[in-house]
Chain A
Amino acid sequence: MTTPADQQVADRQVIETTRAGFSRHVFSWLDLLPFVFAALVYFFLGRYLALGTQVMIQIAFALSLDLALGYGGIDSLGHVAFFGMGAYAAGLFALYVSSEPISGLAAAAVLGAITGLITGPLVLRTRGLTLVMLTLAVATMLQELANASAMKPITGGADGLFGFKIAPVFGVFSFDLRGHTGYWYALGVVAFVFFTCKAVVNSPFGLAIRGIRENPVRMRMLGVNVTARLVTLYCISGALAGIAGGLSAQVTKLVGLDSLGFLLSGNALVMLILGGTGNLYGAIIGAIIFVVLSDRAAAIDPFNWLFAIGAVLVLAVRFAPQGVVGLIEQAWRRQRMRRAR
């Protein structure tokens, strides 16, 4: 005979078994690993702080792209639109409003989100190649706009935006020439971007956008307004990409037309291919590989360094189509199966 207490235990087991089916994107101690690694770089590879800061800007940008592309299935070749808007926002904010850095990043995030809110409803009704071309078109139009003579007093045109100062972080840590403050500041921003992404993908909304990536028609047939959810995602991703752009502006103290250029969009995509999409770690690993490899290859051959990136990309697509993280997951799964046997 089953007592009510037995029944309770059984029910709890049923719920725990079900809950285990939801566990793929929860927070874990593993999430702290990249930040421990970054701290070690600071203490043991102090010569590479500037490079490390560049890596972190690209990690933040690649994370924002992974959220839209890897989780939501929004194939974008124009993600730089958000990055650039964020960069200009942070630059203009420092020039005309305040040199306080964190409110500058907030301004960058707001402009990134607004860009998503305006362009999202236009481009997100489409999918596939049409979507790719529309995102590219939006970014190209924004770049042309920034270069237009009427906009030159604001954006600085081809000369870019420069001559702004960034006040010390929290009013205490001033940006130094060797880049110590910049490094820790960038690390803090990346941590914010990473844990925001993690929280989003962990939430019911995060499950819904993965559902949309997997099968938008089924989502509609569950009663979900697919375009509305995608626009929300585009705004969040746009805000985070805007923060990455703002960070870039604040650290380099220069905003050029290239911050709205196709190259950055393409680079971020290559990072996700190298690292793997739809798991956030791929964005981190891919950005590290991409930036460090570019830097080392350029040091060896300043003219033909892109060859190294091309070669690695070809090898990755051939031997690790799910990226580095995909390889690790595969090995992990195989190991577990062997142990189960």
Chain B
Amino acid sequence: MSEAPALAIENVSKNFGGLRVARDVSLNLPVGARHALIGPNGAGKTTLVHMVSGLLPPSAGTLRLGGVDITHMAAERRVGLGLARTFQISSLFPHLTVAENIGLAFEAKHGLDRRIWGNTAKHAEIVDGAAALLQKLGLLELAARRIVDLPYGQRRLVEIALVLALEPKTLLLDEPAAGLAAAERGALLDLLLRMPEGLSILVIEHDMSLVFRLAQRITVLVEGAILIEGTVGEIRADPRVRDIYLGSRHHG
């Protein structure tokens, strides 16, 4: 028998009143996969990520993480199973320093967030981990800067560092390149291409050149339903995708 997929979305639907934002969506993310989810704005991509990460309950269907049914599991417990995500609009701790932001991820990972004694700056699990990660991502000089004082591109990098600190098995990236300048996109792609092989990534992205270079498979979502799923070559060649999505890329 083969290994359970990192993430399995099985016949998931979501209704907001009469509005059906996800219709019978199924998606399989094998371990180590690089999978992109594309589609026009309003297709329900972010809603799907919200349901997987636990911020929204699905109306129907099943979610499995490494074979475990997480459909009704609290969001914070899913993180314990190796799930991490970023947000479309950077979700950080604006008035804390970069070091504190990353440190929070390390203390959450080590269960130190309930420790009332001792100086945070003297906990090796927090500081050493943050130091190594900051140096690796070239963010070390920013350690004492607050997020509100950083330009947008650097905030995105800090957010990626935050989820990497958790050492996740499955990573959901919601438009990581949105709002980045060309050079920053290049740096982001390098970073994503260097991620560990065992990490399974599901990425929502509008930047097609990034998607085509990163992903092995692509799912196209339109009006809450899957239009087509296939390899990069298949998606590029499909005329419906060209019409519905690639033809209308200029929306931003």
Residues of A whose CB lies within 8 Å of any CB of B are: 14-15, 17-24, 26, 199-200, 202-208, 210-211, 214-215, 217-226, 228-229, 232, 236
Contact = CB atoms under 8 A, between A and B. Distances in A.
Contacts of B53: 221
Classify the interface of chain B: helix, strand, loop or mixed.
helix
A17 B107 CA distance: 18
Contact of B79 (A18, A221, A228): A221
Given A18-B134, A210-B96, A218-B93, A203 B118 contact: yes
Contact of B127 (A15, A202, A210, A229): A15
Interface string B91-109: 1111111111001110111
Interface in B65-86: 75-77, 79-80, 84-85
A222 B120 contact: no
Contact of A20 (B87, B92, B143): B143
Which 7 pairs of residues, A with B, have the shortest CB-CB distance?
A21-B99, A223-B79, A21-B143, A22-B121, A18-B131, A208-B113, A214-B93
Given A21-B97, A21-B144, A22-B97, A211 B104 contact: yes
Contacts of A221: 53, 75-76, 79, 84-85, 91
Contacts of A232: 114, 116
Given A18-B134, A22-B120, A214 B140 contact: no
B91 A205 contact: no
B113 A220 contact: no
Given A217-B55, A223-B79, A207 B117 contact: no
Interface residues of B, number: 53
Contact of A199 (B87, B94, B117, B127): B117
B130 interface: yes
B93 A26 contact: no
B128 interface: yes
10 contacts: A20-B99, A203-B120, A207-B100, A208-B113, A211-B96, A211-B104, A214-B93, A215-B93, A222-B105, A232-B114
A236 B117 CA distance: 13
A223 B128 CA distance: 20
B121 A23 contact: yes
Contacts of A215: 91-94
A10 to B, nearest CB: 9
Contacts of B113: 204-205, 207-208, 224, 229
Given A207-B100, A214-B95, A223-B76, A26 B121 contact: yes
B221 interface: no
A229 B128 CA distance: 24
A101 to B, nearest CB: 26
Contacts of B104: 207-208, 211, 219, 222
Contacts, number: 148
Given A222-B109, A228-B114, 17 more contacts: A14-B132, A14-B140, A20-B99, A22-B121, A199-B117, A200-B116, A202-B118, A207-B100, A207-B107, A207-B120, A208-B107, A218-B87, A218-B92, A220-B54, A220-B76, A221-B79, A223-B79
Nearest to B116: A205
A207 B99 CA distance: 11
A14 B135 CA distance: 7
A20 B144 contact: yes
Interface in B155-186: 162, 166
B119 A203 contact: yes
A223 B105 CA distance: 9
B114 A229 contact: yes
B13 to A, nearest CB: 23
A261 B115 CA distance: 34
A210 B114 CA distance: 13
A204 B97 contact: no
B112 interface: yes
Nearest to A206: B120
A205 B114 contact: yes
A239 B53 CA distance: 36
Interface centre among B54, B93, B117 (most CB of A within 10 A): B93
Contacts of B97: 21-22, 24
B140 A17 contact: yes
A22 B127 contact: yes
Contacts of B84: 221
A18 B84 CA distance: 24
Interface in B209-226: none
B120 A21 contact: no
A277 to B, nearest CB: 12
A247 B24 CA distance: 62
